[in-house]
Structure 1
């Protein structure tokens, strides 16, 4: 079984491309043709079939070479290579081993007409030209070389999860489906499960020691049957693509019933669920059938379906393993029929019309029109509860009550007034045309004001007035001359037609105004969301304002068994909130988790869908907010987890080192069998003191980092002098630093204790990275709004590419002494930010690193305390 763009030339069970005998080498300007032998399972013989095809092509004079063939030590496959020219493989060294791959450069240099490339999904060894073998195949095709290749169905990317569910084995090597779908020819190589198991048992697939395990695991009969069905279904989709392309290229519009495709026409009405479930039952009768639901805009004269109703039917269709499609068409029946022909459907499921029998008798029905236009596609007509029930309109006119009242008054009074005027001017006119025109204008005016029904009444009264007062013989409802009778008849027809057109125009105008208002309202809502005003509270407030509601409540629940909770409420007036009663509420369900409660005027049905759109937007806002919060929590947890991981990795060594030094020194001092002189005792005591200071510094940094990450640092800001901060900070390193802090420096607004920790960490870092060099310089200068403290060292410095990450935790920046966890700069930066200062890194002229601490001056800073320090 296969899909072929060219007629097959081989015996049954194989497919070939259209290479003729003695065919000349194709020009390299064209792209090569790709032929894929698709195996339903390992061992079905796809490589053997590929080699068989190569022999036939070579016999016809085609230049064929073997780019790569995997025989898997199968004697029959190795013998099948026979005298075919084989391009030597290239060797790739990887982790001390030598691997062989297809030499794509050699194949391209050889430039054959056809190249055989086995195992399309194979992953090449690192260092190869491409990561995947199918990418090598693309290079050959681009060079104009025809390629014959093989792949198993379990290696198709879209089927990996399905194959794992069937076999319990996750395929690591995959090929994108589109690579195989784009092939010019796909040939399925298949064996029945029983035949394949026999081949396996006879040793034709795997080595003898692997046979029993394979038969009991991957090659179980059920597994092979399921894999075979997967291959057939996947290939059927490819056949559908080829068939669709063929029908399009040859302008074939009629249906070709290759497999069951059931199209269900839905309107968003209550009958939709019945139609979808009936269509699903029909589609389930044959394996491989498809269910397609189609919704046409606009509808066939019925009220437009609400977005919630359409969304509900979409969910039903998808839950029934179908697809939902929305098409636009002026005529519903034509749109449905054209869609069914386009998808090559075999059946259309449509419901009995909801229109009344009178309307169907005069205007027909959509279902009957679909049957007429189906053109060979079966039409299944489904009865339902709302069939023939007609449609109820909330009002027989879209005009306001005042205009309708004025129209009825005009329909009664205006003809009488016009008659009196015409009689007073000329009681016996010689020509009836003038009165007819006046009365026609009157009917049009009444139609403009009051709509269709007042205009019809005006036309009847006008006809009576014309007949009684202006048609011979007057004073009776009789007509002497046939021409006048015809004129009266034409008057009534024209009056009714004009009144109908005017009424429809008035309705469309009102609908257009309403649609524009709704679109404007939704556009304003969208702008508010895009501008960041995306709170649920803002949405319900806009909803109450736009529709003139007394109160709007948005409620959510975590599950079907949970209680509803109000998350946003809007009241136009405080009195509305105080006087609202549950009985005055209108409930609109947005989805399973969200609903709106409206209090105030009753909304017309035409406004409900806009309210539902508002509610849906509010639900989306809440969901986005929840996802943002979850993402923020996940980021926090991820950062905390990364910190913990790095901390554990660092602490395991760096905290143990000073503890080991202390333990060794204490053991030396307390060992009874060891006699120490004063110099050795002093050295051990000095070791204990240094290790203890180092340990204290590490623990302090860890505690400070923990406090910074949990937000527990609350500085007490006040005006302070650097003279009370810097000397205390550098005391442990006085021998290694030079201070240049003028006495007349202005005060800074900071937390002295925390600033001291900042300076101490920076000085410690500078001293540690510049041992044996000139002493570290601390120089302070005053600016207009700030004071800068520069810690200058002449050490190795920090490369520019490392500066963006140097303030992150656990960055040692080349320090291999093991003295510290790489937290000093991170703690210094965090504490500096907490007290309103900044820390920046600059290069020292001549080499080294300069850390610049910028602090706000007391005169320009906000001296109000920010809290109690912890």
Structure 2
């Protein structure tokens, strides 16, 4: 049996028209004579979607009972028995009710596909597993129903049902997506213009990535190695030199000219593990790549041209940008073709751009003869030459024969090599001249005269000089590499120490300033921003604070001042890296301060949005009921019996009471947010508060079990606020307790505080949602919109903490939730009433 084909319609957000597009395709296929059935469609009350379903054959759903609630699910067996050519299955990421064959709807779809049935389905971008956390960061709304990326990528066809963000908001405002009471809250929260724009971009990028992966799979399956210019991919080769910025900007312009072009930067690191000579330059260029919208990569390889070409081919690059060689013409003539020419020969069908820059064609210069060795080693080299030369001459002069001249020459050459290994260039040159003169004066006839009668004597002296130069060059390079490796290790250790200080909780800016002074053995360091000292280390007092030894700009407004010795060039290179870290730390501090300033505004905005939603929906319901009851009572055209009239009066009275309570709660939460809750502390007897709470809730005897300890005396609390907090907690416990398992109220004393436990055996709350129960306008577990606006627990926590107590959730053994109120005992409490400003939010 042939495997069915899966076609998925992907949307950026609810309401873009995925289900409608799926049903339109069903109508088109039916018109073409294809056997199409609707396996399951979620209309969400949208009339246009329901009208599209009416004209298509629909398979009846399966009814599942779960916790007393009837749920309608996809009837997999019925669809398999019907065996259509195409089945329309809405909401691929849907979670099935317990008791069905599969936990997820996409598993049902896989069984349909295995049976040879083609499936057309829908899914939103927020349900893709790899993007779930990204969507939550954008919208602030967690999504629990997800579908693995691998399942979606196995689809034979994925299409984005696209709709501009403003058009979707217009549809929402017109009532096409949600009913009227949910419109304001949706527009103010999930369906903000910025959220929708980001989700739309996320959906398009995910599909673009899937298309790119599909293209790579096709090329791999068909053995296609040639370049396919589906879109431009520009690879820029960075050496770590200052010309990198020029190359990056040129590469970015090339990529920008091609719509959808990608910019990729690569730096080849040698396998010896040594760092780039200018790490701070490479760090800045990496940041520039990210600003230009590209990606940065590092590869390891000693053959730079080959590594570049291999990377470009692996990246499907269409163009490769490299800089003009910095070698002079003489160097190029002596050493052969450089990296550029080698890359061009090996690039094949990849276009290579060689970009000129200010560092091109730099002059050839040997490293400084003494640059890699210390002064002590150079002095030791001269000493070895002065001691070993005369000693060798005396030894050779006493044993010299005409036949031993060759061995004498080699002996002097050995001395030159030893001196070069010890002291480098200048001691080796001195030893070479000294050896040549000694050889001619003491061992070559005529003796004791310096004469060059034979050309080969001059050649011998020249060879001494060449050997000395070559050996000293090798020694100098080895010393340079050793010092560079040691320097790199020291830099890495310093940066690791700084990172460790930050990870241990130290202030990042202070840690960087302190480690700078320690690393460079300075007297003092300090960071100044806009004339204000941000961080300091060491005794700046005693120095001229206005004239530091040297300073390094960190940002446009911040400067790092250094007091003490002058830093060398290598020190300044490392200092530049530390300054870069300081700039990042300052930017992070500024972002944190900005976030702290915005957080209260964000909380106020969330409260405002929720208040608007409550006023638009939750207040409207009791108001509408009371209005309808009063209107019926006043209507002259309706004849009412006494029972009808009493029932309408009860309805009006109950609705107005609910409305008054709701308004009181809204005012209370506003006072809590503003920090102006009035608290009046006094000695309160818990045994007297609990019965009042039960009477206020109208609970029958036995509906709540009481376990009140006789050892708990009076507590220091506000009787009214404590009662209101308990009313909210007990009402929640009663609502969620299953039949036959009434909630329980228990009191006890512990550690100078009285604890009141409200215990239920209901469904409980997941551990990761415990903190959410105290957030205003959260109704965890309530989806019927008939239980208020989700302020009860938030108010209870505010009331209890306003009295100097605490309210904490715990798991009930065996299942359920226990809310624990802790308030000070009267004899332990301080006789100070907290001010309004001390009441926490």
Q: TM (normalized to structure 2)?
A: 0.59
Q: Which has the larger radius of gyration?
A: 1
Could you report, residue by residue, the CA deviation over 1:478-528 in whole angstroms, capped at 9, with x for unpaired residues? 689999999888766655544333332222211111111111111122222
1:529 to 502, 509, 531: 502
Structure 1's unaligned 5+ residue stretches are 1-26, 38-66, 152-156, 158-174, 188-229, 557-563, 662-687, 771-775
SS at match of 1:295: strand
**Is the Cα contact below 8 Å between 2:239 and 2:267 reproduced in 1?**
yes
SS at match of 2:764: helix
1:585 to 519, 530, 550: 550
Aligned counterparts, 1:241-390, within 5 A: 241=216, 244-245=219-220, 249=223, 263-276=235-248, 293-298=265-270, 304=276, 306-313=278-285, 325-342=297-314, 348-364=320-336, 365-375=338-348, 379-390=352-363
- Structure 1 residue 819: deviation in Å? 12
Counterpart for residue 648 of structure 2: none
Alpha carbon RMSD of aligned pairs, Å?
A: 6.7
- Structure 1 residue 89: deviation in Å? 1.9
Distance 1:126 1:766, change over 3 A: closer
- Structure 1 residue 354: deviation in Å? 1.7
Q: Matched residues in 2 for 1:234 and 1:822: separation?
A: 41
SS at match of 1:574: coil
**Is the Cα contact below 8 Å between 1:468 and 1:474 reproduced in 2?**
yes
Counterpart for residue 611 of structure 1: 575
Counterpart for residue 504 of structure 1: 477
Number of equivalent positions: 678
**Is the Cα contact below 8 Å between 1:448 and 1:506 reproduced in 2?**
no
1:540 to 513, 517, 528: 513
**Is the Cα contact below 8 Å between 2:689 and 2:723 reproduced in 1?**
no
Q: Matched residues in 1 for 2:720 and 2:539: separation?
A: 56
Counterpart for residue 154 of structure 1: none
Q: Matched residues in 2 for 1:90 and 1:698: separation?
A: 44
Distance 1:730 1:344, change over 3 A: closer
Counterpart for residue 575 of structure 1: 541
1:837 to 785, 805, 813: 805
**Is the Cα contact below 8 Å between 1:551 and 1:569 reproduced in 2?**
no
- Structure 1 residue 832: deviation in Å? 3.5
Could you report, residue by residue, the CA deviation over 1:159-199 in whole angstroms, capped at 9, with x for unpaired residues? xxxxxxxxxxxxxxxx9999999888999xxxxxxxxxxxx
- Structure 1 residue 443: deviation in Å? 3.9
SS at match of 1:512: helix
Counterpart for residue 166 of structure 2: none
Q: Does 1:86 align with 2:34?
A: yes
Aligned counterparts, 1:638-787, within 5 A: 638-644=602-608, 705-706=669-670, 708-711=672-675, 752=716, 754=718, 757-758=721-722, 761-762=725-726, 783=750, 785-787=751-753
Q: Matched residues in 2 for 1:473 and 1:367: separation?
A: 57
Q: Matched residues in 2 for 1:701 and 1:296: separation?
A: 65
SS at match of 1:350: strand
Q: Matched residues in 2 for 1:769 and 1:613: separation?
A: 59
Q: Matched residues in 1 for 2:227 and 2:621: separation?
A: 79
SS at match of 2:497: helix
Distance 1:392 1:551, change over 3 A: farther
Could you report, residue by residue, the CA deviation over 1:687-721 in whole angstroms, capped at 9, with x for unpaired residues? x9x9999999999877765554445679999xx96
Q: Matched residues in 2 for 1:646 and 1:607: separation?
A: 57
Distance 1:633 1:432, change over 3 A: same
Counterpart for residue 376 of structure 2: 403
- Structure 1 residue 551: deviation in Å? 5.0
SS at match of 2:322: strand
Q: TM (normalized to structure 1)?
A: 0.57
Q: Matched residues in 1 for 2:326 and 2:830: separation?
A: 76
Structure 2's unaligned 5+ residue stretches are 10-22, 60-75, 123-127, 129-146, 160-204, 627-652, 735-742
Could you report, residue by residue, the CA deviation over 1:611-665 in whole angstroms, capped at 9, with x for unpaired residues? 343334334444444555555566544544444555567689889999x99xxxx
**Is the Cα contact below 8 Å between 2:236 and 2:264 reproduced in 1?**
yes
SS at match of 1:89: strand
**Is the Cα contact below 8 Å between 1:654 and 1:821 reproduced in 2?**
no
SS at match of 2:541: helix
Q: Matched residues in 2 for 1:463 and 1:576: separation?
A: 59
Distance 1:139 1:344, change over 3 A: same
Distance 1:401 1:708, change over 3 A: same
